[in-house]
Amino acid sequence: MRTITVEEFKRVLQDIPSNPRVLASGNFATPKTLLEAFDSVVPNYTLHMLNAQIGIPDREGVKYETAFVGPGMRNSPRLDYVPSRLSLLPVLIRDHLIPDIVLLHTSQRRFDTVSLGTEVNILPAAIETVRARGGIVVAQSNKQMPYTYGDAQIYENEIDFLIEVDEPLAEHHPIHLTPTAKAIGEKIAELVKDQSTLQMGIGAVPDAVLELLQKRSGLRIWTEMFSDGVLNLHKVGALDDEVPITASFVFGSRELYDWLHLNRRVQMLRTEKTNDPSQIAKQARMTSVNAALQVDLYDQANASRVRGRIYSGFGGSTDFIVGSLHSRGGHSFMALPSWHEKSGSSNIIPLVDEAVTSFQHSFVVTENGVARCFGRSQTEQAQNLINFAAHPKARESLSQAGKKMGLL
């Protein structure tokens, strides 16, 4: 590994192949310095990032590629969406979406390593692939990035060039909970037992659930990502201190990042491990909470498309739904508001006409109630969704549709 300046990095880029595929740290760990320098030198390239945020290079000549669409790529005419479960994305990177260069956002050096900090995810697979194919790995080493352990630790000999930076990290602060989000969170929290293992993402419903679980004991965390809600569980002693907190990326406050720094209680693992359904299934009382845009009377969920266009993607939801159902005592929750206020329509619908993201959930939860689905007949599923999850204004029309579909 050689430490270089931004100007030296630009000169290095003169030797890379034309129209390369560049894979960069995604989510909330965008390597801004590296991307800006790269974009200023390379006229045409494919940019692969997970959940890319606003502020990435956006011009003709830059083609976007991702398995999970973030706001930085959403609705772009230059987007290639690649459908994939997150657990399988490293396989695609190894065999199909092979990068020529990997741009990392890392911590400062510690002995002969740096850490991927808040964003591990698919990056270890990308590093291995690009090195096996003769590409280059470049890191921006940020003194504000926490040093985390597990698969986050990268040895100097795995990196070709390093540029030292001092950049603030993106932060998330919980928003005010709406009555709907709070009602959904309360209904889910009531069904979570002590000694459960939790997977929850970011957003109003996970925030509400985690806040309401602070009086539980022996909780464990095996998740794709987490935020300050997990730190708050730690503060009140609700977590099992003997079991590591396992995740693949983190997004939260500066306080959370400071807590993560050199904290061996947290193990940051690569996606192939955190999202492996067989590993998820081994966790005690695995409890996954995911969100959907629509759920139909067959308990099929659309969580990725709006009016036929890709909005996000599978993400890790399918991995955790399957893993949770295989866990002894595990449950999969699918959460959504029962009613779409802007369109004045029900989010519980007769039949999903978009691509189905997932199916078979333990419970579908709205502000109105809990519909028990797994282990029920198709008739019981439909009845429970109508009677407990659907908005009262939609129940009659859903019942009529269910009869026409032969469900009721």
Active site residues: 224
Q: Whole-angstrom Cα distance, residue 196 to residue 121?
A: 24
Distance CA 85, CA 313 (A): 8
CA trace torsion 44, 46, 52, 53 (10° rounding): 0
Tokens of 399: 């019942």
Q: How many CB atoms lie within 10 A of CB 351?
A: 11
What amino acid is encoded at 352 in this protein?
V
Query: How far apart, in whole angstroms, are the C-alpha atoms of residue 217 and residue 184?
Result: 21
d(CA 187, CA 135): 50
What are the structure tokens assigned to 407, written together? Answer: 């469900």
